[in-house]
A and B are shown apart, each in its own frame.
Chain A
Amino acid sequence: MKNFLPAILIAALCLPAGLAYSAEAAKKAPTLMNPPPTAQDWADIAKLPDWSGVWNPKITDQDAQVKTNPPPWNEVAKKKIEQMFAEEKAGRPRLIFHSCLPEAHPTWMLVTHNAMEILFTPGRVTMLGESDGNRLRRIYTDGRGHPDVSDPTLHGHSIGHWEGQTLVIDTVDILPQAPLAVSEAAGVSNNGDMRVVERIYLADKDIMHVELEIFAPKILTKSWKTTRIFFRQRARKFEITEGVCVLGDLAERVDADGDHVFVPVEKTIWGNIVSTPK
């Protein structure tokens, strides 16, 4: 027994540490992100509202809201926005979405001029923009929370849940460079700590409302509530098209080898094309 005593003492001393380690390990254990969906998972999707089809933004309402419901900009941001509006009016519009960057979240929802489609699969809702200027959002509806360690992206980390027929989304971890824009020529970097809460639902058979509350403490004096409208026209004969933004910088040509190639076009600092290569 004497011989066992040291071992027992060591074990007794180590036990709390071992338990703590186990708890820590369990906490950090990787979660199964994409479990194989069950038949019930797919059946549950059939109970969700019909959001299929091509959704177009109501641009005339976007235009109107610039005047009727502007963001509560702080003093610094307001000055920048006023200057941008003045420059735009003078024919020198600021290129907010330069370098083919996505409009990012929530600006995609606010000012896009392109269509989108929305896909439901088990555990997530996916929004696909027509042009890669607005691109892609993944909204996790599998009950997960936001990550412990922030890994900011242009569209942030979105988790959602259904309240009846309304999808409620909470988005954090948006890159500080992502602009909060009210038009294609007026917007400022959010500068960090932005959070967006959305409630998306069908206001009518073919009308979708996206209610947003935007918390951007570095550029707004208080949260900004606004709604954007999307519509679909079931009778229309079109699909979403592939839209690769950088192709706008290139012309389709055939080189000396007979190969089909892309050749740069000439553009101004405002983004419009000046000339194309021969």
Chain B
Amino acid sequence: MKQMLKSAGAILAVCGLAAGVSSVAAHHSTTMFDHAKTMTIKGEVVELRWVNPHVSLSVNGLVGDGTTPEVWLMEMTSPGNLMRAGGWRRDAVKPGEKVEVTFSPLRDVEKKGGALKRLLVVATGETFTASIRDQERPGIE
């Protein structure tokens, strides 16, 4: 069984590459997101990927007035910038925690992706923002 899973994983990885998974990681512009729009998702954290150059947060929940849960994937700046600009940590949120996320959606909303603007951890009331330009505020600790 283990061998089957390993083989399946290998096949999946290869198929993924063939299907358009590409090694194009890079610092990139964010205009694929529609910054004129703001949406909210309320739900549970699936995963916080604490990686360069763009941290991502996936949330399973209800978007706006929706009634069917959906998984949306939020993208942010790098871990270093999030720490400096928004007080983030690798364990800022954990899988299963209830959150509310405000975000600007991808222009192609069918892709269910967004640029995170603000994260509220429901249990603690703690909030995190993600604007890299916030680092320039004078006197911040």
Q: Mark B7-49, 1 if CB is under 8 A from A, else 0.
A: 0010011001101111111111111111000000000000101
- Residue A32 at the B interface, CB < 8 A? no
Q: Are A245 and B34 in contact (CB under 8 A)?
A: no
Rounded to whole Å, the gap between the CB of B44 and the closest CB of chain A is 16
| 1/0 contact string of A194-213 vs chain B (CB within 8 Å) | 00000000000000000000
What's the Cα separation between A240 and B24 when bound, in Å? 24
Indicate whether A190 reaches chain B with its CB closer than 8 angstroms.
no
Given A115-B80, A256-B2, A243 contacting B28 (CB threshold 8 A): no
Is A92 a contact of B32 with CB atoms below 8 Å? yes
Contact digits for B98-141, partner A, Cβ 8 Å, 1 yes 0 no: 00000000110001010000000000000000001101100111
Residues of A within 8 A of B20 (CB): 266
List A residues 255-269 near B (Cβ within 8 Å).
255-257, 263-269
B116 to chain A, nearest CB (A): 12
B55: nearest chain-A partner, CB-CB: A248
B81: chain A residues within 8 A (beta carbon): 113-114
**A151 interfacial contact with B, CB 8 Å:** no
Binds B, one of A41-49, A152-160, A167-175, A270-278: A270-278
A236 to B33, CA, bound (A): 31
Q: Decide if B28 touches A271 in the complex (CB within 8 Å).
A: yes
The CA of A133 and the CA of B140, in the complex, are separated in Å by 26
Q: Which of A183, A235, A255 contacts B141 (CB 8 A)?
A: A235
- Give the chain A neighbours of B53 by CB distance below 8 A: 131, 133, 243, 245, 248
Residues of chain B from 62 to 76 with CB closer than 8 A to chain A in the complex: 73, 75
Partner of A256, one of B9, B47, B106: B9
User: By DSSP majority rule, is chain A's interface helix, strand, loop, or mixed?
Assistant: loop
A238 within 8 A of B: yes
Interface residues of A in 224-263 (CB under 8 A from B): 231, 233, 235-238, 240-241, 243-252, 255-257, 263
Q: Please, which residues of chain A bring their CB within 8 A of the CB of B80?
A: 114-115, 130-131, 238, 240-241, 243
Other-chain contact of B26, A56, A92, A101 (Cβ < 8 Å): A101
Q: Which A residue's beta carbon lies closest to that of B135?
A: A56
A-B contacts besides A59-B136, A99-B24, A273-B54, 15 pairs, CB < 8 Å: A56-B135, A91-B32, A98-B24, A103-B27, A245-B27, A255-B5, A255-B9, A264-B21, A265-B21, A266-B21, A271-B54, A272-B106, A272-B113, A274-B73, A276-B73
Write the residues of chain B forming the contact surface with A, with a CB cutoff of 8 angstroms. 1-2, 5-6, 9, 12-13, 16-17, 19-34, 47, 49, 51-54, 56, 58, 73, 75, 77-81, 83-84, 106-107, 111, 113, 132-133, 135-136, 139-141
* Complex A-B, nearest 8 residue pairs according to Cβ-Cβ distance, in ascending order: A93-B29, A271-B28, A256-B5, A248-B25, A243-B52, A185-B29, A97-B26, A249-B25
